[in-house]
Amino acid sequence: MPKITYITSENETHTIDVDNGLTVMEGAVQNDIPGIDADCGGGMACATCHVYVTEDWFDKLPKKEDGEEDMLDMAYEPKKNSRLSCQIVVSDELDGLKVNIPSKQG
């Protein structure tokens, strides 16, 4: 099972086994990782599952779909490496993915 590492804004590291097919957001919510709210439940409608993907991983992820960049306009402190974690689907290729959680979601 792929391991996904979530790093909180306080630098706490949580490494979780996440099933293939789940999203990075679901991995966080199901394991009570603090800082990912996912208010809309994965509908790409709220920007409260915003994460920063570490540089070395960012380009390896499948590209953003149209609506994701629009939603990121509303995220809290978006950066170049911002993604919505509900749009990143876990697969074996993502084993070892590291994401940083912003200090707030809004």
Partner 1 sequence: MIKTDALIIGAGPTGLFTAHQLKLIGLNCEIVDNLDKIGGQCIELYPDKPIYDIPAVPECTGEELTKNLINQLKPFDIKFHLSERVEEVKKDDVNWIVKTNNGKIFSTPNVIIAGGVGSFEPRKFPVKECEKFENKSVFYSVNDKKIFEGKTVAIFGGGDSALDWAVELSKNSKVNLIHRREEFRGAQATVNKVHALVKEGKINLFTKYQMTSVKGNGLLESIDIKNDDEEKKNIKVDYVLGFFGLIMQLGPIANWGLNLNKKTIEVDTEKFETNQKGIYAVGDICSYPGKLRLILSGFHEGALAARACFKLARPNEKYRFEFTTTSTSLLKRLGKKE
Report yes or no: 72 and 42 within 8 Å, Cβ to Cβ: no
Q: In terms of CB distance, is 51 or 94 closer to partner 1? A: 51
One-character DSSP codes across 25-93: HHHHHHTT-TT---TTSSSSSS--SEEEE-HHHHTTSPPPPHHHHHHHTTSSS--TTEEEGGG-B--GG
For residue 41, state whether it binds partner 1 (rule: CB under 8 A): yes
Please report, as residue ranges, which positions from 53 to 82 form the binding site for partner 1 (by CB under 8 A): 69-70, 73-74, 76-80
Q: Which residues of 58-75 are buried (b: 16+ CB within 10 A; e: fewer)?
A: eeebeebeeebeebbeeb
Q: In terms of CB distance, is 2 or 102 closer to partner 1? A: 102
Binder of partner 1 out of 20, 93, 96, 104 (CB under 8 A): 104
**Closest distance between partner 1 and the C-beta of residue 12, in Å?**
18
**Closest distance between partner 1 and the C-beta of residue 48, in Å?**
7
Task: List contacts with partner 1 (CB under 8 A).
Answer: 37, 39-41, 43, 45-48, 69-70, 73-74, 76-80, 104-106
